[in-house]
Chains A and B, each alone.
Chain A
Amino acid sequence: MKFNTDEIASVLREEIDRYESSIDVREVGRVLEVGDGIARVWGLSGVMAGEMVEFPGGIIGLAFNLEENSVGVIILGDYLKVTEGDEVRSTGRLLSVPVGDAVVGRVLDPLGNPLDGRGPVVTTQQRPVEALAPGVAQRSPVREPLQTGIKAIDAMTPIGRGQRELIIGDRKTGKTAIGLDAIINQRSSGVKCFYVAVGQKDSTVAVAIDVLRQHGAMDYTTVIVSGASTPAPLQYIAPYSGTAMAEHFMYRGEHVLIIYDDLSKQAQAYRQLSLLMRRPPGREAYPGDVFYAHSRLLERSAKLSSELGGGSITSLPIIETLEGEVSAYIPTNVISITDGQIYLQPDLFFAGQRPAMNVGISVSRVGGAAQTKAMKKVSGGLRLDLASFRELEAFAQLGTDLDAATQSRLDRGYRMVELLKQGQYQPMAMVDQVMMIYAGTRGHLDDVKREDVAMWEKEFLTFVRDQMPELRKAIDESNQLDDKSEKTLEGAIAEFKRQRAAALVVQPSSTVAAGR
């Protein structure tokens, strides 16, 4: 490459002309010791807690511990490049990240630096990573639904915009899949999505990004990655910086969905930092303020009042449990902070029930108000029915003779369980969910074989889409299942069953014919 020296000289000349001898005033300290992502600094006597400091080479850190003779700094970057004796300067600013439309569709690190090789994030807007959550007066109750596209969740533990719903379960029970499904389902809802991966394997995150891209979800999604190999300070701040980017849209009146995958890893990173900083360990060696670390994060998910634009952040934090132990420290903390939890169980997962949600102990504390009328009408009592079915099922396994009524309840239960199964990355529209749950709860599936339920569902939805589009339209527009629509739906089911029976009668003979 050839350089144009004239051009360079002119740029330099211009710079020198405009150069004002502005004195660089800074407050400085010296690195006493450094290691494991933290540094102890002597000096910096006027630095404030949480203030951003700068090491040589542009590496930044956060003043974390202010002690009598030194300052503990967490290093957000390559701590191997910081050496003893380096000058540290305070910046008088809080850590901020780039925000705005430029971050949408990008894969970023917790400081907003691009990781996807698509060039720098060009935006002038910044937001502090740590911000106060909206106060009581700035909020309004959660009323609008956020459709995850997953039948079991939308029907039984509905999520509203501005809600925090915990996804909790052992490893490999489909926690991330629920989050990704929820993101994929926002394709036409206009909800911006953020996926914050903390302490995950980079290979797992790469798969997740690939899935989002394949389903066209990267158009409205930002992925913030702080993998298992990144230093603990970055893992610790990742959820906060993701939230800062999300808040920008919330305060602009838009709706945001943010997935924290997962907060148990973030708590571990915070524990590491705190122990290295010699903060006293508490239960399970976590520092005393680990509850506050999560509560101040999740409080920032809110539904704003209409005066502030009515935007919202809905968050789906994920917590990984060990051997189903929900009474461990971090799970109980986050359960108490969130507005409900979706509990995933390995035994259900391996029994083929996916999502492997335990209906009995999964709850949504505020989402009910956000459910559409149609869904509320068809799904009322579904949770209790399923829970009582689980009890009956346990009885039935003893092999006792059952009376007809019990047997029919069991049969209904089996079919409902089948109905609530749903493949990965196949979110379903609200209308389709309503129609299917209607068919299940009103007993229209009782005469369908258990293993045929999935097929029945597929065929029925195609039938309605092709032959009765006005029914879908009516429910979709009004969000209600009024008497007229209900009658039409009954008619549709009857007609579909008739056609299906006819087709089944024809099919075997044609097979025979083909065989001949």
Chain B
Amino acid sequence: MVDSTLPRSKSKDLPPDIGAARIAKVYAQAIVEASDRKNCRAEVIAELAHIVRELLPRVPAALHVFASPRVSEREKISMLDTILGSTMLPTTLHSLKVLARHDRLGILPEVVEAAEHLLDELAGRRRATFLTAVDLEESQQSMAVLQLEKLVGGAITPTFRVDPELLGGMIVRVGDTVFDDSVATSLVRLGSRLVQRSVHEIQYRRDRLGSA
């Protein structure tokens, strides 16, 4: 039987649409491979990330236009040419145009996400989220990262977040693995252990009474 009860925590990082993520992975792989041939892998991905993180938030309607089937493929391509034509590497532009031609420009953020994952994977780097109850100091952060790198045996890209509900301690997440040393979880475990012990005690005494 299962001996502990998990605290009911709602996720803030629910996955995006997995259908889109699956398609994005294929495009991301193609883009990474294509840029590899031109020896500009990092640059292309950085440019795409720049579009998604810097340009698109400034013009919220842009993504809608990208995703809309009402805007024709030709219009999208000419838009890309006029806006980005002069500033981007040719491979970046080609990648965007290929996405536009296949009517997949709407999932650009997912493609970038997938491509970054792929780059991390290729470089043997892993992403880790550090969740703490209070803000960590710089030195503490670097110590935590160092410790984790030793544990997982590879470089990591850290993200730090604060959640006062932890009460204390730290939760580290690398991929799907969670290292949980938070006070909140410990308390829950302590509670369920106490309940279990009492139930056992009650049962034991009842059995003894019954047999007497």
- 8 extra A-B contacts, CB within 8 A, seeds A57-B5, A122-B207: A15-B194, A19-B186, A23-B181, A30-B15, A43-B15, A54-B6, A85-B14, A91-B2
Contact B18 A85 (CB under 8 A): no
Residues of chain A with a CB closer than 8 A to B194's CB: 11-12, 15
Known A15-B194, A24-B189, A120-B199: A54·B2 in contact at CB below 8 Å: yes
List 17 interface pairs A-B (beta carbons < 8 Å), by A numbering: A11-B194, A24-B180, A25-B179, A26-B177, A26-B178, A28-B176, A42-B18, A45-B175, A46-B177, A68-B22, A70-B18, A87-B11, A89-B178, A119-B206, A119-B207, A120-B199, A120-B203
Cβ-based interface call for B84 (8 A): no
- Measured between alpha carbons, how far is A55 from B9 in the docked complex, in Å? 11
Residues of chain A with a CB closer than 8 A to B200's CB: 122
Contact A29 B176 (CB under 8 A): yes
- Measured between alpha carbons, how far is A27 from B174 in the docked complex, in Å? 9
Residues of chain A with a CB closer than 8 A to B166's CB: none
Q: Which of B1, B8, B18, B204 contacts A56 (CB under 8 A)?
A: B8
Scan B46-70; emit 1 where CB is below 8 A from any A CB, else 0.
Answer: 0000000000000000000000000
- Measured between alpha carbons, how far is A23 from B180 in the docked complex, in Å? 6
Cβ-based interface call for A327 (8 A): no
Contact B11 A119 (CB under 8 A): no
Q: Which 6 A-B pairs have the closest CB atoms?
A: A24-B180, A56-B8, A42-B15, A23-B181, A69-B18, A56-B6
**B interface secondary structure, majority:** mixed
Contact A15 B6 (CB under 8 A): no
Cβ-based interface call for A86 (8 A): yes
Instruction: Name the residue on B nearest A12 (C-beta).
Output: B194
Within 8 A of A (CB), among B159-205: 173, 175-181, 185-186, 189-190, 193-194, 197, 199-200, 203-204
Residues of chain A with a CB closer than 8 A to B2's CB: 52, 54, 58, 60, 91
Q: How far is the CB of B163 from chain A (nearest CB, A)?
A: 14
Tell which of B9, B10, B179 has the most Cβ of chain A within 10 Å: B10
- Measured between alpha carbons, how far is A42 from B8 in the docked complex, in Å? 17
Cβ-based interface call for A44 (8 A): yes
Instruction: Name the residue on A nearest B169 (C-beta).
Output: A21
Residues of chain B with a CB closer than 8 A to A122's CB: 200, 203-204, 207
Contact B190 A27 (CB under 8 A): no
- Measured between alpha carbons, how far is A57 from B199 in the docked complex, in Å? 17
Contact B193 A15 (CB under 8 A): yes
Q: How far is the CB of B12 from chain A (nearest CB, A)?
A: 9
Residues of chain B with a CB closer than 8 A to A28's CB: 173, 176-178
- Measured between alpha carbons, how far is A30 from B15 in the docked complex, in Å? 8
- Measured between alpha carbons, how far is A61 from B186 in the docked complex, in Å? 23
Q: How far is the CB of A123 from chain B (nearest CB, A)?
A: 11
Residues of chain B with a CB closer than 8 A to A111's CB: 1
- Measured between alpha carbons, how far is A112 from B194 in the docked complex, in Å? 22
Scan A26-55; emit 1 where CB is below 8 A from any B CB, else 0.
Answer: 111110100000000011111000001011
- Measured between alpha carbons, how far is A85 from B15 in the docked complex, in Å? 9
Cβ-based interface call for B21 (8 A): yes
Residues of chain A with a CB closer than 8 A to B199's CB: 120
Q: How far is the CB of A72 from chain B (nearest CB, A)?
A: 13
- Measured between alpha carbons, how far is A98 from B1 in the docked complex, in Å? 8
Q: How far is the CB of A18 from chain B (nearest CB, A)?
A: 10
Q: How far is the CB of B22 from chain A (nearest CB, A)?
A: 5
Q: How far is the CB of A48 from chain B (nearest CB, A)?
A: 13
Within 8 A of A (CB), among B1-45: 1-2, 4-11, 14-15, 18, 21-22
- Measured between alpha carbons, how far is A11 from B180 in the docked complex, in Å? 25
Residues of chain A with a CB closer than 8 A to B21's CB: 69
Residues of chain B with a CB closer than 8 A to A29's CB: 176
Q: Which of B173, B176, B178 contacts A45 (CB under 8 A)?
A: B176
Q: How far is the CB of B151 from chain A (nearest CB, A)?
A: 10
Known A42-B18, A91-B2, A122-B203: A27·B178 in contact at CB below 8 Å: yes
Q: How far is the CB of A190 from chain B (nearest CB, A)?
A: 23
Q: How far is the CB of B186 from chain A (nearest CB, A)?
A: 7
Instruction: Name the residue on A nearest B193 (C-beta).
Output: A15
- Measured between alpha carbons, how far is A58 from B203 in the docked complex, in Å? 21
Residues of chain B with a CB closer than 8 A to A42's CB: 14-15, 18
Contact A25 B189 (CB under 8 A): no
Residues of chain B with a CB closer than 8 A to A91's CB: 2
Q: Which of A27, A54, A56, A119 contacts B203 (CB under 8 A)?
A: A119
Q: How far is the CB of A387 from chain B (nearest CB, A)?
A: 53
Contact B176 A27 (CB under 8 A): yes
Contact A56 B5 (CB under 8 A): yes
Residues of chain B with a CB closer than 8 A to A56's CB: 5-9
Tell which of A24, A28, A43, A69 has the most Cβ of chain B within 10 Å: A24
